[in-house]
Structure formats: C-alpha cells, structure tokens
Amino acid sequence: MTFMLDQKQLKQLKDIVDKLLGRDEALVNALARFTPPFDISRPNIHDSKKEFSQELAMVEAIFNHLAGAVDQLLPNKDQETAEFKVLRERIRDAIEIGAVQKFRNMALNQPRDLALKNMSDTGFFMNSMRIIIDLGSGLID
C-alpha cells in the first residue's frame, strides 16, 4: 500500500532529502523527480502485535527447520566424522540419482521445468542446498 502525496508534499519531501544529502536537484534523474525519494509504503505491515507475533513464530520455525536441514546435510567440517561423511555422501548420491532419473527426460513446458533440469544437470544436491540457504537468508532479511 502506497500513500498518495500531492505534488506540494512530494516537492517538500524531496527538498528535505536533497538538503540532508547535499544533493543538487538539477543532477537528479528526470524520472526520479516524480517519485518519492524513499519508500513511503505502509511502514507497519502488521495490524496488531498478535499478527506480528504469529508471523515471527512462523518465520522462526521455518528458519530453524531449514537450518537443521543444512546442518544435517552440510555439517561443519570440524564436526564431521568419517562415518557421518559416508552416510552424507550416500544421501547426496541418492538425491542426485533421483533427480537425474526424474528430470532427464522431462518435457520443458514451463520455465520451472528448465530450471529444475538445469539444477539436475549441474548438481541437484548442491544447487538445492544453495536455494535452502538463500531461502533462510531471505527469511532473516
């Protein structure tokens, strides 16, 4: 949701920001003159503390599960035993073989199909781990 500013308010906002940043309005991109100098969308996306708390609990639970998967599949090298390394490699190999079998002859009808096939062709396990890590990072951000 974006708040609507009239032209006078927009100019005042830009003048304040330009003064604070020591910016010359003449050097500002022409298109930028018609938009606020920073995000003025609704600053609080939660209508209540309860709603915020529920979302926070969900994000924390998801992050903890993702972190647990990463910890199990990509443990700290200092903590990895020889026995655990063999087990992890068997799991990784099973995931790779399953992906190759599933995506080898997949019809590429959608962009998602091509992405999955490319992941399979370039290392499904590690690509999946990178996505899990990025998903966790996105939750933290």
Domain boundaries, the chain: 1-43, 49-140
Q: Which of 61, 53, 63 is nearest to 135 (CA)?
A: 63
Take residue 123 and report the two structure tokens written for it.
Answer: 């290392």
| Tens-level pLDDT at each residue, the chain (141 residues) | 445 667 788 778 778 877 787 776 656 666 666 666 666 666 667 788 999 999 999 999 999 999 999 988 887 877 788 888 899 899 999 999 999 999 999 899 999 999 999 999 999 999 999 999 999 999 887
- At 25 the pLDDT is 63
Residue 75's closest CA among 129, 112, 2? Answer: 129
